[in-house]
Chain A
Amino acid sequence: MNFSDLILMAFSNLWRAGLRAWLTIFAVVIGGTLIALMISLGTGANDFILSQFRSFMPVNSLIVSTSPEFGKSGFQGPSLGGEPREVKDGDSVLGFGHIGGQKSFTSKDIETIRSILHVQQVDPTYILSATSIRLNTSPTRYEVNLQCLPDYELDIRRLTAGTRFAKDDVRKAIISKQYCSVFGFDTAEEAIGKKVIIEVSQLNLFGILSGAIPAKPREIEFEIVGVTERTMASTEVIITKNDAIEIGRFIFNNPELYSEIWGSTLQVKVDNKANISKVANDIQDLGFGTQTPESIAASIQSFFRVVQVILSLFGAIALLVASFGIANTLIMSVYERTREIGIMKAVGATNSTIRWLFLLEAALIGFIGGALGVVAGWVLGRLANVIAHMTILKEYEAFNISIFPWWLIPLVLIISSIVAIIAGIIPANRGAKLNPIDALRYE
């Protein structure tokens, strides 16, 4: 029997079942919709987080730590929701930090790393724990995440207003868009040229040990020269290298910082993204730990993979329920078509032809249900995007809460068809095994 005839016959049988077929298909549609929607939401969230992350970390750089274990366990932030990690000697104890008893890079280490093939630039990662930021005209203080970035990293920050730093700038700052509203600016342009006061206080970490009394907090005035586009880094304030060195030395009360000792993490720029892993290996051979943008991105992505799988389980459960409906519908239809099956066998249909006829009918139910589910999932995803852009993603026009990758279409179609075919096995075998004589005698 030709495959096209088989399909045609299965299709017309399904068509004849009318409402019953549509009700069965509808159950599959729900499963398909859920799978499509959940995966598209997961993809949207993944893309959002990844692109946020990529806007912070240049793709051709890597982070190096004096701790060889650094980067081994993926994301190095504080334990998020998990059990607190054990601290061993030489571990970084302050999340990303490098203070305490953490070993620092020496100038010689930096020279060695700089001499590695493909390495273009080595910068310290400045730890600038500022206490607050305020407008010089107002006493209201806000939290702040003070940063000093290598020039090439600053280049990938997008500005909505103002400019990047000029060479040798001091007391200049680039603030994040979110500050504009709390500072009372109507537009980002309005912020340019205004002055902010940033307060930094000395850490008494060494003070306690040495018995020295920490110096009084300092208030430093900066001129706003730029405003970054709205990202998730809502409290980021970027300052120049000159100021960062000065503030760093004050905070740690260590005049040798960034001349003799360089902190426990460095940011290394590589000439080409393709050479990152090679450079990372070379640095690891020196006994240091590394973390590449790819390794961080990979751990973010694997997290969202898990989220997607969990979300799509809802759809899988719906499909499982639908599969019982399919089996039931087809068993009914074998029963109804007993005589028809008998006739087909009498005129020469093989058992396997009959089996295929029912399996294909099941597959059609799955395929049509999956196709409608994909369409419904896509429509709902678009709807979610529209709603999100009016609410939670108001400021992030470039982002979508639901992203519909092309592979979602074949994925849903294949899953729903396979589930349906599996559901069709029992009815199909029943039909195939019908004794033609009994079937013909059947009234």
Chain B
Amino acid sequence: MIELINVCKEYKMGEDTVHALRGVNLVVNDGEFMAVVGSSGSGKSTLMHIIGGLDRPTDGRIVVDEDDLGAASDMKLSKYRREKVGFVFQSFNLQPSLTVLENVALPLVFTREHRSERKRRAEEVLELVGLGDRLKHRPSELSGGQRQRVSIARALINNPKIILADEPTGNLDSKTSEKIVDLLKEINSIRKATVIIVTHDDKIASQTKRIIHISDGGLLN
């Protein structure tokens, strides 16, 4: 369970302070399939970063399965990201120098998993996203939709409880987007992972079971 209690995030820009999040209260239960919508600059990405342990709130608390992430050490946050979270980014964020297989296996490199086991699991998740035949390709040799599948495979490889997708279809056409959302939906229903998708697209949002609206750093009810 993810619990946000009065989470605030401020950025100091010289004299000014940007309030990216202003007292967000939110509970996300295990296995939820949820969309976050809101206009540009409203704080959606910031919210995802805080839930994903990439950033800490300046005020308030974020508790995941009884662990207070705001108070956790860098080491613990890394461990949390490694074991419980899978990120999917709008711009894919694949390493151009690595093959598809290596990109997907990357999160396991930071665990103590054995090389052969890493390869086996990477092949397995790539099979799942329908790219079992592209293992040796470089990201630059793939289409946008394929790249996003690679990045979803990478997010899946640790078998995380939480998948955070920040505008995963932002760079894709509508047909490809649909397939990506179908894939995420499948992951939610089969793997029982909590999936949170940030999107501007109402059509995508409507496919989820819960939609939260965010505006100027606050949730709208």
- Are A346 and B87 touching (Cβ within 8 A)? yes
**Chain A, interface size: which category?**
20 to 34
With CB as the reference atom, state the residue of chain A lying closest to B82: A348
Hey, which chain B residues are within 8 Å of A342, CB to CB?
93
With CB as the reference atom, state the residue of chain A lying closest to B113: A2
Hey, which chain A residues are within 8 Å of B1, CB to CB?
none
Within 8 A of B (CB), among A296-349: 339-340, 342-349
Query: Which of B73-81, B196-204, B205-213 forms part of the interface with chain A?
Result: B73-81
- Are A344 and B110 touching (Cβ within 8 A)? yes
Hey, which chain A residues are within 8 Å of B87, CB to CB?
346-347
- Are A1 and B109 touching (Cβ within 8 A)? yes
- Are B93 and A353 touching (Cβ within 8 A)? no
Alpha-carbon distance between A347 and B109 when the two chains are bound, in angstroms? 10
- Are B107 and A348 touching (Cβ within 8 A)? yes
- Are B54 and A350 touching (Cβ within 8 A)? no
Interface size on B, residues (CB 8 A): 26
**Residue A16 contacts which of B75, B97, B107, B109 (CB distance < 8 angstroms)?**
B97
Q: How far is the CB of A198 from chain B (nearest CB, A)?
A: 82
Interface residue SS majority, chain A: helix
Query: Interface 1/0s, chain A 1-45, versus B by CB < 8 A?
Result: 110010001001000100000000000000000000000000000
Alpha-carbon distance between A5 and B112 when the two chains are bound, in angstroms? 10
Given A340-B95, A351-B74, are A346 and B112 also a contact pair (CB < 8 Å)? no
Within 8 A of B (CB), among A118-160: none
Hey, which chain B residues are within 8 Å of A1, CB to CB?
109-112
Most buried by A among B54, B75, B94, B115: B54
Within 8 A of B (CB), among A394-435: 435
Hey, which chain A residues are within 8 Å of B106, CB to CB?
343-344, 347
- Are A343 and B79 touching (Cβ within 8 A)? no
Alpha-carbon distance between A200 and B75 when the two chains are bound, in angstroms? 88
- Are B55 and A437 touching (Cβ within 8 A)? yes
- Are A5 and B109 touching (Cβ within 8 A)? yes
- Are A350 and B78 touching (Cβ within 8 A)? yes
Name 25 interchain pairs, CB-CB below 8 A, sorted by A.
A1-B109, A2-B112, A9-B109, A339-B93, A340-B95, A343-B95, A343-B106, A345-B54, A345-B78, A345-B81, A346-B52, A346-B54, A346-B81, A346-B93, A347-B82, A347-B107, A348-B79, A348-B82, A348-B107, A350-B78, A351-B75, A352-B75, A437-B49, A440-B54, A440-B93
Alpha-carbon distance between A343 and B91 when the two chains are bound, in angstroms? 12
Indicate whether B33 reaches chain A with its CB closer than 8 angstroms: no
Indicate whether B148 reaches chain A with its CB closer than 8 angstroms: no
With CB as the reference atom, state the residue of chain A lying closest to B75: A350
Apart from the given pairs A1-B111, A344-B110, A353-B110, 17 other A-B contacts in the complex at a CB distance below 8 Å: A1-B109, A1-B110, A1-B112, A5-B109, A16-B97, A340-B95, A342-B93, A345-B54, A346-B54, A347-B154, A348-B78, A350-B75, A350-B78, A350-B110, A351-B74, A437-B54, A440-B89
With CB as the reference atom, state the residue of chain A lying closest to B89: A440
Alpha-carbon distance between A349 and B80 when the two chains are bound, in angstroms? 11
Q: How far is the CB of B13 from chain A (nearest CB, A)?
A: 14
With CB as the reference atom, state the residue of chain B lying closest to A16: B97
Q: How far is the CB of A109 from chain B (nearest CB, A)?
A: 77
Query: Interface 1/0s, chain B 43-57, versus A by CB < 8 A?
Result: 000000100101100
Alpha-carbon distance between A438 and B106 when the two chains are bound, in angstroms? 20
Indicate whether B158 reaches chain A with its CB closer than 8 angstroms: yes
Hey, which chain B residues are within 8 Å of A71, CB to CB?
none
Alpha-carbon distance between A436 and B54 when the two chains are bound, in angstroms? 7
Alpha-carbon distance between A435 and B74 when the two chains are bound, in angstroms? 11
Hey, which chain A residues are within 8 Å of B216, CB to CB?
none
Within 8 A of A (CB), among B90-127: 93-95, 97, 106-107, 109-112, 115
